[in-house]
Structure formats: C-alpha cells, structure tokens
Structure 1
Amino acid sequence: MTLFDSRMTTGGATSSNPHVFAVVLAGGKGERFWPLSTEAQPKAFLRLIGSESLLQATVRRVRLLLPWVQIVVVVEQKHGDLVREQLPELPVANLLLEPQGMDTAAAIGIASLHLERLDPEAVMIALPADHYVPDGEAFAAGVRRATELLASYSDWVVMFGIPPARPETGYGYLEVGEPLASPPGAFRVRRFLEKPDRQTAERLATDGYHYWNSGIFLWRNVAIQSLLARHMPEVWAGLCRIREAWGVQEALEREYSAFKKQSVDYGVLERMGEGVAMVRADFAWDDLGTWDALARVLPVDDDGNVIVGEVHLLDTTQSVIVSTGPRVATVGLSEMIVVASKDGVLVCPKERAQEVRKLAGGPR
C-alpha cells in the first residue's frame, strides 16, 4: 500500500494522492559557505552545482511526485523575493514567510497550520532546500517506500537514514533497532546521536546500526501537531494563537518574537522514545555543509583540486579554489580552501572548514 500512484510524465507528477504535501524548508543560513552564502543570499539560493540553485534542484525532485499546488516553501520574509524569482510557478499562497528564522520546529509548525487549512487529512514531507541529491528518480522511489511505511504506522514519524560513506563528525546519526516488516530497509529508530567526535564517528560508520540523519521527515499533519503540543507546549501555544489570527501580520510577528530557536529533531523527535521509524535511503545524498564537500560532488583536476571560476594554480593540490569575481592565483597550496567573491575572501585549511560559520556575516 502506498499514498502515491505511479502515473507520471517527464514534466512532473500528473496524478498523486491529493493528501500528500511537500514542505520545503528554505530558512537555513548556510553560514559555513561564507563568503558566497550571505545574509542577502543564503546557500539554498546559490548555484553551487550546475545551472540550478539548490532550492530549484530540491523542488525539481519533489515535482516528480507532486504538482505545484501540493508544494509549500517556508522561508524568512526577507528572502521571499528570491523564492518568487527562482520558483515563479509556486502558488502565491504556498509561500509562507516567517518574520525571522527560528529553526525547523517553528517552520514546520507554521507549515502545519497552512496544511490543515488546505486538507484536514494532509500528510507532510518536510525536507531541507539545500541538500544535494543527484538522482531524482531514486529519491522519488525512496519517498514512495516511506509512504508505504507510514500507511502501516499512521501515527509514527518516518525518517530517511543515509548509509554512512565515511566517519563524518559534522552530521547527526540515527541508531536503528529491529527491522520492520515492510518495506525492505525499514527499522525502528532507537536513539539519536549528534555530531560525534572522530573516534566515535569511525565506529558508527562501520557498525551497521547507524545511519546519517538526512533531515527529511514524513508524517501525518495531525500527528506532528500532536507531537508539538506534547513536547513543545509553549511553541504550540504560540502556533495556536497564530492559527486564531491567521493572516494578521502583527500576531505572527508577536508570537515569533517569543519563540526559541529549536530544531524539530531536538524539540520533538529526540524526546519521543518510540514511534519513530527510519527508511534506508537508496539514493546518493550530501548535506553540502562545508566548502570541502564540493570535492565530493564536483569534478576534480589531476591534482585533486576543485576549480570554479577564473582560477590559476601552480603546485596546488587537494584544494577547493572558487572565485565568482576576481581572478585567483595560488602557489604551493595543499588541502586548502580559497573562496573569493564580491563580499569577501576566505582562506582556510580544509580540516577547519566547519569553523567558517564563526565568520558568518563576514570577519570581524
């Protein structure tokens, strides 16, 4: 059993279950991609790979499953024009503007209020706008498997777990328990582990019981509302006040100003104890969290370098060199990141790429 049928065209979904909606979360700041990712144009809106922005590529994958009327984008108000420019086909009512970014719990909560107005039986697929998934068809097949699982466990949360390709210290992990009867590759989630140290990550990557947390979730809309009410009662109370004054900007701004920034992972899922399932993702995936990630998804030269823009190298190896403006030349570098844009220049060792977020908004 699945929530989707299989009739498709190359132009996107022509027939799908009308109760399924995708909520694309475009509020990430992409601070570790400074100086290209800025307050004015965060990572999701950048064309880091090919001619599409990460947001456009995310929605293109979703369009293999759903028509435009069943796609919702949540973004900070100041970036609404960027979404309209990049996704002109998105229905105006399905662009939800947050007064300020308050992390995924608030964004998913506000999306749930919108979905309940569209369909009391809504099922939500929530996914970040800034991840790299090269095979859209494999992604669509994975979502269908997840909806099959949700059809059997209707009040559960279904997550996508990525088989670890390396001992990654920058990702969260899911520890799985016993397998579920159907579909293949489905498990109970036993616990969550956040960004382990190197030694722990090396163990998690090879023990067969741990998967990367992709940040892609599937749930019935009434189920996530119930979970928010149970585990984040203050946030849910604010959301209920927004619901009562739906469409009144002053009420939205007032309630958002009182929210605490918190992810739905920490605020809800890690507190559930049970009722969380995981489907093993059989598609390639990358968080693209730091500049050194480009070496995993873009071609490299004979010396292992990623080169973007007008760049000239001499005796430079295993480095990421990017320019969106001035000509950049390097001599004698190894395992380095160099990024030049109109907003600044970054130079750092690849092993310290995670620390770039400390420079968010530019060096001080």
Structure 2
Amino acid sequence: MVDAISDLYAVIPAGGVGSRLWPLSRADAPKFLHDLTGSGSSLLRDTWDRLEPLTGHDRIAVVTGRAHRAAVEAELPGIPDRNVFLESEPRDSGAAIGLAAAILSRRDPDVIIGSFHADHVIRVLPVFHWAVQQAVAVAREGYICTIGITPTEPAVGFGYIQKGEMLAVEGAPEAALVDRFVEKPDLATAKEYVASRSFFWNAGMFISRADVLLGEIAENDPELYAGLMDLAEVWDDRERRGPVVDRVWPTLPKIAIDYVVAEPAAAKGRLAVVPGHFDWDDVGDFASLAKLNSGGRKNDLAILGENARILSDAASGIVVSHTKRVISLIGVKDIVVVDTEDALLVTTSEHAQRVKHVVDALKLTGRGDVL
C-alpha cells in the first residue's frame, strides 16, 4: 500500500486518435478507450487505477475532447464532474496540461500536478509509485521533474533525455538534472545513447508545482499563457465558461509541452529527471502491441478480440479481430492483421509505423468515414 500524497493532483491528458493503431483506434474510439492488454479494462481505466492510490479519487483530472466526454465518464464513473476538463478541439499537450495547471492553481495555489498519459501501459506499480514519490519531492524544491524510462533497446520511436549531475533532494535519492532533450534519433545515434547509459526514454510524464509550470509557459509562450489565464478565470463559473472557451480555445498556440516547458527548462537548469525502473510501453503501433501481448516471445501469435476465431499454423505476430470472420494464418512471420466491420489492415511488424501514412492517405482521398 502507498499513502496518498496530500499536495499532488494527477492530470490525465486523454486526447489523440492513435493513428498508428488504425483501424482499431478511431476518432470516436481512440486507443485509450480500448483494452489492449487483455486486463479487462481500458487503458484509461488502468491509468486511473494506478494513480488513485497516490491521490485519492477526487484529485484526478482528465483533459479530453468534448466528443469523448460520455465515454470517459462511463469508464471513470467515480470522477467528479468538476475534474473533467473539456477541449473544444485538439490544441496539443502544451494547452491541455497548461489548462489543467491553470485551473488547479486557482483552486489551490500550492498544488503539485503530475501529468500521465491515458494510453500507456505500466507494470510493477510499487516501483512506479516510488518514482512518482521521488518526483514530487523534487517538484517541491521548485524543479519541473520528468520520469525517464531506462531504455531496453535502441528505439528510434522515442525522444531521449540525457541525465546530468545528481541532485541532493531529500526523499529523491535517484534525482538528477537534465542536460538536454533529444528528438527521435536515427538508429546509429540511438545505439550510442543506450550504450552510454546516460540517456532515458522520454515518456512524457511531468511533475511540477502548478505555479512553476505556468511560470515556464509565461516565459516561453506569453500568448499561450494569457489564453490559459483567461480560461482559468472563468472555468468554474458555468455561465461564463462556455462563451470564453469558444472564443479563446481555438486561438491558443498548438505546441507540445516538451517544447514550451521541458526543453527550455532543461536549458536553464530547471528540469530534473527521476528514473522509472518499471515496465512501460506507450503502445505506439501494432509491433509494440504484439510484443506487449506475447510477453516478448518473437515466435508467438498474439490474439486480441473477445470472440476472435483464429486458426494458425507456424505463424507469429498479432491478430486483432472485431468480427465473426474466421481468420487463418499459415507460415507467416511477424504478421499484423486487424479485422473490423468496415476496414481490414494487413501489414508486418517491420512496417507497423507506416500505418499512419494509410490514415493520412484516407484523409486526402476523402474516406473519412472509416477514420
């Protein structure tokens, strides 16, 4: 058991379509609403369940699109209505997390917020909880803290965080300053990073005093900061909120939290990192989904779908079936098959990242009915 952290408020950004998981993930049913691990719960519900021991059920906020409100509240029946922050349209993570920080700071000026994506898979929860506890201790000292994942391979699909000198913070023995953020590298560079043992994967988890995070936004993007302050001022007033959101939200700059907060803070020595030694996956494509559901066994065939009817002989990879069709696979390796009522995807694990290009092509050809 872990004791709740009295000054921590968890924020779950639940946005994005997850286009590399099409046709499973759609605009009206993004990946955080799916059970992708066979746990019986959606990724969003799993995220809530691992955060609740740290905060209690009334100190978790979800930032999501208006179109997903009903689905989010169905997945999280215990969430207070005042803790569902609705975006009228996607404006990227800088606006989403900044909005939560601005609202919660007005409610509690001393609050520490922790941002945790709705669509990640994390196992070994006591280790995760220990990392968050350390990050909160660092945040109390005025730093913005991220949780870096120890790389298990030279992945090119993640950004990297370079660890600098160690910090002396009570309650956070593993905390260190961040020297720099690095965008997704090529394979040769990723191999160098992993071999150096001074780099972490960037999992997009940030813990900070709300006022410190907002101060960083104000310094780096005054336009975004001004808009967030206008929204926060009226957010808890139902009569005033609607017109202000409709007017202000579409004008907010679209920028990721990495660019508006993390990278500038690292350059100024204000960003820290705590290593996350827990099992983590962002389920970024079907290759990672196959690995996640096969326990990493390369020659296995992972099968998802409550009523999947699969026949296989010397096949490996993953099959996701949401139909009653019988799917037979013979002698194929690292195959990806996703069968839905209105779309069928067939590819391989090697080309799983290219699924996004299919989504882009469907948009260009006007076939949005399957997106």
The alignment's TM-score, normalised by the length of structure 2, stands at 0.89
1:33 CA displacement: 0.8
Other-structure match for 1:158: 145
- The answer to whether residue 355 in structure 2 is matched with residue 356 in structure 1 is yes
Other-structure match for 1:278: 273
Spell out, residue by residue over 1:179-222, the C-alpha distance to the aligned partner (whole angstroms, 9 max, x if none).
Answer: 22242321110001111111111111121111001111100011
1:302 CA displacement: 8.6
Separation in 2 of the partners of 1:208 and 1:335?
30
Give the number of aligned pairs: 349
1:170 partner amino acid:
G
Other-structure match for 2:245: 252
Structure 1 pair 186–7 and aligned structure 2 pair: CA distance change class (3 A): closer
Residues 173, 192 of structure 1: 8 Å contact kept: yes
Residues 106, 232 of structure 2: 8 Å contact kept: no
Spell out, residue by residue over 1:162-192, the C-alpha distance to the aligned partner (whole angstroms, 9 max, x if none).
Answer: 1100010000100111122242321110001
Q: 5 Å matches for 1:178-257?
A: 178-182=165-169, 183-246=172-235, 247=238, 248-257=241-250
Separation in 2 of the partners of 1:260 and 1:340?
37
Residues 64, 137 of structure 1: 8 Å contact kept: no
Separation in 2 of the partners of 1:293 and 1:345?
19
Residues 65, 89 of structure 2: 8 Å contact kept: yes
Separation in 1 of the partners of 2:298 and 2:285?
22
1:275 partner amino acid:
R
Separation in 1 of the partners of 2:280 and 2:34?
18
Other-structure match for 2:368: none
Other-structure match for 2:318: 320
Other-structure match for 2:19: 31
1:244 CA displacement: 3.8
Partner of 1:190: helix, strand, or coil? strand
Question: Over the residues paired in the alignment, what is the CA RMSD in angstroms?
Answer: 1.8
Separation in 2 of the partners of 1:28 and 1:206?
33
1:7 CA displacement: 6.2
1:84 CA displacement: 0.7
Unpaired stretches in structure 2, ≥5 consecutive residues: 366-371
- The answer to whether residue 325 in structure 2 is matched with residue 337 in structure 1 is no
1:336 CA displacement: 2.2
- Off by >6 Å, runs of 4+ in structure 1: none
The alignment's TM-score, normalised by the length of structure 1, stands at 0.91
1:93 CA displacement: 0.6
Separation in 1 of the partners of 2:57 and 2:276?
24
1:179 partner amino acid:
M
- The answer to whether residue 166 in structure 2 is matched with residue 171 in structure 1 is no
Residues 21, 286 of structure 2: 8 Å contact kept: yes
1:135 CA displacement: 2.0
Residues 25, 107 of structure 1: 8 Å contact kept: yes
Residues 167, 205 of structure 1: 8 Å contact kept: yes
Residues 149, 202 of structure 2: 8 Å contact kept: yes
Partner of 1:205: helix, strand, or coil? helix
- The answer to whether residue 31 in structure 2 is matched with residue 52 in structure 1 is no
Separation in 2 of the partners of 1:284 and 1:343?
34
Unpaired stretches in structure 1, ≥5 consecutive residues: 1-5
Structure 1 pair 302–31 and aligned structure 2 pair: CA distance change class (3 A): closer
2:26 partner amino acid:
T
- The answer to whether residue 294 in structure 2 is matched with residue 296 in structure 1 is no
- The answer to whether residue 305 in structure 2 is matched with residue 305 in structure 1 is no
1:38 CA displacement: 0.2
- What fraction of aligned residue pairs are identical, expressed as a percent? 32
1:356 partner amino acid:
V
Partner of 2:200: helix, strand, or coil? strand
Structure 1 pair 68–148 and aligned structure 2 pair: CA distance change class (3 A): same
1:117 CA displacement: 3.0
Separation in 2 of the partners of 1:197 and 1:104?
24
Q: Which moved more, 1:324-333 or 1:210-219?
A: 324-333
